[in-house]
Amino acid sequence: MPIDDPIEPTLHLRFQAEKLSRTIYECNDIEILREIAIELLELHQKKSAIANWATKRAVEAEQRLFGLKKNKSD
């Protein structure tokens, strides 16, 4: 997968999002909407933490790789 490929949700994820969107639009119960909002907020926090962790690990791996290549050429 080339690095410049756009990040797109899978078809399955798009269907899940559509289903949740319809549930939200059709819901008149404020408590259910609050619960959905809190769950989405928690999910967003977890996804952000995963993205930050993956970015840090990728940077560390790249630094190790370049450090190893640099030492081999010396």
Which tens digits make up the pLDDT trace of 53-67? 999 999 999 999 888
**Residue 37 clears pLDDT 90, i.e. is over it:** yes
pLDDT attached to residue 27: 96
Query: In terms of residues, how long is the chain?
Result: 74
> d(Cα 74, Cα 72) in Å, to the nearest integer?
6
- Give the DSSP letter of residue 10: -
Residues 6+ apart with CB under 8 A from 36: 20, 23, 24, 27
